[in-house]
Structure 1
Amino acid sequence: MTTLLGCDFSSAPSRRKAIVHAVGHVDRGRVVLQRQDRFESLDDWAAWLADDAHLPWVGGFDLPFGLPRELVEHLGWPTSWVDCIRHYASLSRQDIRDAFAAFCHQRPIGGKFAHRATDGPAGSSPSMKWVNPPVAFMLHAGVPRLLGAGAEFPGLATGDPRRIALEAYPGLLARSVLGATSYKSDEVRRQTADRLIARRTLIHALENGDPPLMRDAGLRLRLTHSQRDALADDASGDSLDAVLCLIQAAWAWQLHERGDEHWGLPAFDPLEGWILGA
C-alpha cells in the first residue's frame, strides 16, 4: 500500500517548532490519518526520506520547489531545475539574502519581489521571500534534501518512482473553507478562541469532504476522536497544516491511480514548479 504524507516544513526545526508529517492512506474515498511524526532536526527528517522502510510514498510538502524564472535569469543562475537547485544549495543563507535584497532594491515599491506563475492562483508568498515567512530558506533547506533522498519531482526531475514529492500549500485548501479567517498562530497572545473555532470549522469541513478539491474527487478525511481533538488543540496549526498537505497528496495520488500521469498538475514552467490544486 502506498503511504501518503503531508509535510508541514520548518527550515530550522527544533523541539518548539518541529517538522510535522501527517502519515496516512486512502481507503474507499476516506483519507485515513494513521499518525503524525515530528522531526526536530533536518538530519532526522532527511533520514526518514531516505529510509526504504517507508516505501512507496507520495508526499505533499509545504515548501516551494522552485524560484521565479525572472529572478533566476536576472542573477545568471542555471535555468535547468536540477542545476539551479544544486547551485542554490551551494550558497549560504547570507549569500541568498544579499542576492535577493539587491534584486529587490532595483525594483519599484509594490513590485519588489518576482513571482512564480503558480503564486497568483495559489495565493502563495513569493518563493524568493526571506522573511515573514522565510520561504526562500525553506526551499534551501528542504528541496536539496529531497533530491538527496532520490525523490522524483513530477514535471521537474525524474528520480525514484517510489518517492514522489509534490509541492503543497495548506493555505489554498484552508481558504476554500474559511476565506480570510485566520485559524492559527505561533504567538501565544494570538492563539484565541476565534482561531480555535476556525480550526474546528475547518476540521469538520474536511471530514465532510466540503472543500471543492475534496468534493470533486469524492474524498473525506477520517479521524478518531482523539485525533480530532489534537488537531483542534494545536494552536500553532502545524498539525492541521500537515493534514491539509496530506489531503492534497491524496488528491494527486487518486488522480494518478485513475490514469493521470501528471498527478493533477497542469502544464507549467519546469524551472518554477507548481502547487497542487492551484
Structure 2
Amino acid sequence: MGVDFSCAPDARKPITVAWGERRGAVLRLERLDALPSLDAFEALVAPTHERAAEGWLGGFDFPFGLPRMFVDALVAHRLPEAAPKAGQPACDALVRALHAHCTDRQGFQALIDGWGTQWGAGTRPDKLPHRAADVALPGTQSTSPLQTRYVPVGKMYFEGLHRLVAADVALPGLREPAARTTPAPVLRLGFEAYPGLLATEVLGKRSYKSDDKARQDPDRLMARLTLIDALEQGRTRLGLRLKLSPAQRDHLASDAKGDRLDAVLCLLQAGWADVQREAGDARCGMPPAVDPVEGWILSA
C-alpha cells in the first residue's frame, strides 16, 4: 500500500491509501481509500485490520526520523530520555519521549521553535537542517522534518511515526516488531516514501498538483497525465509498470490536489521494496547502514 498522509485529516483533506498487488514487474492498483481521521489511520496499521492477516508492505509519505544534529542537541540539552536504552530502537525512544514531553503537535512545534534560544544555545544553525536522505534524492530535495509551517512535515512525523511504533509495525533498518510469536507472525512492513522522487524523475520541475483552486490549471492536468503515462509504461528507474483500469486512470487524473496520485507513487515505491524482499534482501532495498535517528527514504 501507499499512503499520502495528513497530520490533521478530515473529510475534505483525508489520508489517501492506495492498495495494490504486484505480479512480477506489474503492479495493479486495486483500490483507493480515504481516511478522514487519525483514528482511521490507527485502525489501518493495527494488527487487527482486515489486511493484517495477509501481511502488507507500505510506503508512507511522512518522515521516519529527524536530523541527527537536532536530536543530539535535544538529548544533550533538553530531553535526555530521548536517548535509547539498551536494546531499544532509537526511533521508538525518540518519538515516545517527544510525545510524553510535547503532548501534541503544537507542543512539538514550540520545542523546535525554542531550539537555540530556550534550549541548546549555540547548537542551532541558521537554516533548519536536513537529514542525509533528504539531500540524497536525484534532482530534488525533500523538506526538512523540522519544518512545521508551510509544509508541516514535522507535524506529519509527530502524528505518523508514533502510530506505526504503537502498532508494532516493522520498519526495516530502524526497528523490528517487539511482539514475537511461534510461528512468526505475518509481517507488516513500513517504509518512508516520497512521491516527489518519482514525480521529479518523470516531470523534472513541472508541477502536477496544487491545493489552490486558482492554480489547478490545464498545464498541471497535462503533467498528471504525462506522469500517469510514464508509470503505466514503466518509464522509471524502479522497473515497475502500473496497471490501471480506464476509470482508475481518470480518477487519478481528475484529482487536482494530487493526493490520489501521490498515494500511488508511494505504492510504487513500496512495490519496489517488495521486489527487493522477494530477491532475498531482508532490508527490502534499504541501505546497509541507516542512521536509526534519521531513517531513510525508500529507493533514494
TM-score of the two chains, using structure 1 as the length reference = 0.93
Q: 1:81 matched to which residue of 2?
A: 91
Q: In 1, are the aligned partners of 2:35 and 2:41 still within 8 Å (CA)?
A: yes
Q: 1:99 matched to which residue of 2?
A: 111
Distance 1:130 1:120, change over 3 A: same
- Alpha-carbon distance, 1:213 to partner: 2.2
Q: What pairs with 1:1-278 in structure 2 (closer than 5 Å)?
A: 5-50=1-46, 51-55=48-52, 56-76=55-75, 77=79, 78-79=82-83, 80-90=90-100, 91=102, 92-103=104-115, 111-122=126-137, 123-159=141-177, 162-214=187-239, 219-266=240-287, 267-278=289-300
More strand by share: 1
Q: In 1, are the aligned partners of 2:115 and 2:124 still within 8 Å (CA)?
A: no
- Counterpart CA distance in 2 for 1:111 and 1:242 is 33
Q: In 1, are the aligned partners of 2:116 and 2:124 still within 8 Å (CA)?
A: no
Q: Report the more deviating stretch, 95-104 or 268-277.
A: 95-104
Q: Percent identity over the alignment?
A: 45
For these two proteins, the number of residue pairs brought into alignment is 270
Could you give the per-residue CA deviations for residues 38-86 of structure 1, whole angstroms, max 9, x where no partner exists? 1001001111221342020000000001111110111224232211010
- Alpha-carbon distance, 1:102 to partner: 2.4
RMSD (CA atoms): 1.7
- What is the DSSP-based 3-state SS (H/G/I as helix, E as strand, rest coil) of the residue aligned with 1:213? coil
Q: 2:181 matched to which residue of 1?
A: none
Q: Which runs of 4+ in 1 moved over 3 A?
A: 104-111
Could you give the per-residue CA deviations for residues 99-125 of structure 1, whole angstroms, max 9, x where no partner exists? 211226678998420211111013110
Structure with greater Cα Rg: 2
- Counterpart CA distance in 1 for 2:175 and 2:218 is 44
- What is the DSSP-based 3-state SS (H/G/I as helix, E as strand, rest coil) of the residue aligned with 2:281? coil
- What is the DSSP-based 3-state SS (H/G/I as helix, E as strand, rest coil) of the residue aligned with 1:151? coil
- What is the DSSP-based 3-state SS (H/G/I as helix, E as strand, rest coil) of the residue aligned with 2:238? helix
Distance 1:96 1:31, change over 3 A: same
- Alpha-carbon distance, 1:126 to partner: 0.6
- Counterpart CA distance in 2 for 1:34 and 1:100 is 40
TM-score of the two chains, using structure 2 as the length reference = 0.86
Distance 1:239 1:107, change over 3 A: farther
More helix by share: 1
- Counterpart CA distance in 2 for 1:134 and 1:67 is 13
- Counterpart CA distance in 2 for 1:116 and 1:109 is 14
Unaligned runs of 5+ in 1: none
